[in-house]
Chains A and B, each alone.
Chain A
Amino acid sequence: MKARLASWTGSLAVLAGLVALWWVASNAGWVSRVFLPTPEATIASLGEGLNLHGAGHGELLDFTRATVMRMLQGWLLASLFGVLLGAAIGVSPAVRSWVQPTLEFIRPLPASALLPLAISIFGLNPGMVLFVVAFGAMWPVLLATVHGFATVEPRLSEVARCLQMPRAAFVCKIGLPNAMPDILAGMRLSMTISLIVAVVGEMIASQSGLGQAILLAARAFRANDLFAGIVLLGLIGFASNALLGLAERRLLRWQQP
Chain B
Amino acid sequence: MSRRTVSTRAVVVGALLVSLLLAGVVSFYAASTPDGLTKVSQEQGFADTETEHGAADGPFAGYDAGFLDGDRLGGGVAGVVGVLVVLVLGTALAYGVRRRSTSDEQPEQPDQTRA
Partners in one complex: no
